[in-house]
Amino acid sequence: MTASVTVHDLAKMIDHSLLHPTMTDTDIAAGCRLALEYDVATACVKPYAVALAREILAGSDVRVCPVIAFPHGNSTTAVKLHEAETVAIAGGAEIDAVINIGKALGGDWDYVRHEIREINQAVTAHGAILKVIFENDYLQDAHIIRLCEICSEAGVAFVKTSTGYGFVKQPDGSYNYKGATDHHLRLMREHSAPSVQIKAAGGVRTLDDLLRVRSLGVTRVGATTTKAMLDEAKQRFAKMGL
């Protein structure tokens, strides 16, 4: 870290993720209070929890970030549009939406392009912004490049690597995921328009991870280890006398 980067800068890179399927309303409320305490960019919540998050975050500049078609992206475009409009009207300021992964893998780019454009238009009409989730673990570089081009043409705010739940069957039969790899982040930055920001999700767990992806042009991350990362940042700055 250098004096040009502050703890506040790092905090405002973080969407504090509250998306695990086992999280109760009590868990989500506690997570929103942590997001408020650390003054992060957003609390990233399940669609039904927008009202709860808004209540806790009222009066702050921590935004509410609901996800839609999460985590697999398999809903019809009509359902995604309804979900996106519903959460935007409810107060979701930033909306993370999963693409139809099978359509991308099948090369049905007209479908993918139309869906992304429709969702982006729907959320921006209500004053929100869109982050498009690719789920890179399932994709090849050529798919990622094409998605970046489509998202750039559509004028979305962010492209995002992963949901954090895109588990792929490994050769040994286990399921795991890589999430935000340096290679994919560089690829996304290179092939996205300058106006499109990059969000890394999956595998950004430490302060060093956060600083590394920042150096690659990432401006937002999805994280569950927010407290640990920012506490360590405060400690490092203190030792450096900054």
80 is an active site residue: no
Does the annotation count 15 as an active-site position?
A: no
Catalytic residue among 160, 182, 208, 239: 160
Is 160 annotated in the active site?
yes
Which of the following is catalytic: 96, 137, 141, 231?
96
Asked if 25 and 232 count as a contact pair (C-beta separation under 8 A), the reply is no
Judge whether 31 and 43 are in contact, CB under 8 Å.
Answer: yes
The residue written with tokens 């475009």 in the block is 77
Of these residues, 46, 80, 131, 199, which one is catalytic? Answer: 199
Q: Is the peptide bond before 71 cis (omega within 30 degrees of 0)?
A: yes
DSSP labels for 50-100?
A: HHHHHHHHTTSSPEEEEEESTTT--S-HHHHHHHHHHHHHHT-SEEEEE--
CA-based R_g, the chain, Å: 17
Q: Which amino acid is at 181?
A: T
State the catalytic residues: 96, 160, 199
